[in-house]
């Protein structure tokens, strides 16, 4: 019997490259996210991984045997969690999904990434115009795993083509579709098109999840209404301040960042990934990048140095405000 996640009326952490590690997923869940997505993980890399119980950290690690590197880490509190799969092959997609089967709640196929690496490999946005491959990949996954299978897409240049795409996806048996409401060529600084997503949501019966330009909690209901979706997915808004998921207790950005760093220390997040994420949290606001604490963060060499920098900043200058930035960074 197929297990289910209810994708209606949910607020979801979007997949973000180099960001969506266990430390950040747990942060989002703490602040109220209903479902969290991993960063995109490539099928062929996941096939090489061996499941390892890490008793010291209390985690399950998927370690690439060839590289002796942990590719994905999870724990008992990391649920509902969705693995976003980078794939161009039904065979490899199924093999990766089966290899990691005990530890995720759903699989999402990335059909929206516009980066050259994905496109050249036939992955990401390359799938938007390859309906037969879409049907093979989603159909293969649905035949072999009894967990929800979803996908994340972008808009095609013609709305009628996008309508045809979502109908094709629905016909495979997919549980939901997340729509990044931009065209493949668009960058995040350009506005999204929620009104076009509303046309899509009226064309299918499965839940559509709107993704785009949600910068603060108040934007969630506005997006639902404009896009005609009961669920939304938040990427950069959550990166800048993950308490965007909390209507009752939004927290100052510096406090949220300290929570993230503590998670990184507890679960041994790779330091380069942690530093990248921390600098992105503050880096969207150009005023903050001129502050001494940001320069100290940039010069930090360890999690402990970053945490000390923020603790001193809050002690001396206070926690600051519920900061929001200009959203110029590129994530998919």
Q: Which residues are catalytic?
A: 113
CA-CA distance, 25 to 81, in Å (whole number)?
8
CA-CA distance, 17 to 36, in Å (whole number)?
14
Residue 97 has which token pair?
A: 């999904």
CA-CA distance, 56 to 77, in Å (whole number)?
16
Residues 6 or more apart whose Cβ sits within 8 Å of residue 140 = 90, 91, 93, 94
Residue 60: strand pairing partners = 53, 74
CA-CA distance, 158 to 200, in Å (whole number)?
12
CA-CA distance, 52 to 98, in Å (whole number)?
15
Beta carbons of 301 and 320 less than 8 angstroms apart? no
**Which among 327, 322, 304 is positioned nearest to 254, based on CA atoms?**
322
CA distances from 299 to 9, 46, 287, 308 (A): 42, 33, 18, 13
**Which among 233, 178, 219 is positioned nearest to 12, based on CA atoms?**
233
**Which among 19, 23, 18, 20 is positioned nearest to 263, based on CA atoms?**
23
């Amino acid at each position: 019997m197929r297990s289910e996640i209810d994708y209606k009326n949910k607020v979801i952490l979007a997949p973000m490259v180099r960001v969506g590690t266990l430390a950040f997923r747990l942060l989002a869940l703490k602040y109220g996210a209903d479902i969290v997505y991993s960063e995109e993980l490539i099928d062929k890399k996941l096939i090489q991984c061996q499941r390892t119980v890490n008793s010291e950290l209390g985690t399950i690690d998927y370690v690439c045997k060839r590289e002796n590197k942990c590719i994905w880490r999870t724990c008992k509190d990391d649920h509902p969690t969705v693995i976003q799969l980078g794939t161009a092959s039904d065979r490899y997609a199924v093999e990766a999904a089966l290899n990691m089967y005990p530890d995720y709640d759903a699989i999402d196929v990335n059909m929206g990434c516009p980066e050259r690496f994905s496109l050249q490999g036939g992955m990401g946005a390359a799938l938007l115009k390859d309906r037969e491959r879409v049907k093979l990949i989603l159909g293969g996954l649905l035949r072999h795993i009894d967990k929800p299978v979803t996908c994340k897409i972008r808009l095609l240049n013609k709305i009628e083509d996008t309508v045809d795409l979502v109908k094709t996806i629905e016909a495979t048996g997919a549980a939901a579709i997340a729509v990044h409401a931009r065209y493949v060529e668009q960058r995040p600084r350009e506005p999204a098109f929620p009104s076009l997503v509303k046309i899509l949501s009226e064309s299918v019966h499965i839940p559509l999840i709107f993704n785009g330009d949600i910068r603060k909690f108040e934007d969630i209901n506005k997006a639902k209404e404009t896009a005609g979706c009961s669920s939304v997915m938040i990427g950069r808004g959550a990166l800048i301040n993950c308490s965007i998921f909390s209507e009752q207790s939004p927290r100052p950005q510096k406090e949220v960042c300290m929570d993230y760093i503590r998670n990184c220390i507890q679960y041994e997040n790779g330091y380069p990934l942690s530093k990248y994420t921390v600098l992105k949290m503050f880096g969207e606001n150009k005023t903050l990048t001129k502050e001494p604490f940001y320069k100290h963060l940039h010069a930090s060499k360890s999690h402990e140095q970053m945490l000390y920098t923020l603790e001193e900043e809050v002690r001396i200058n206070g926690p600051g405000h519920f900061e929001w930035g200009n959203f110029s960074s590129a994530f998919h």
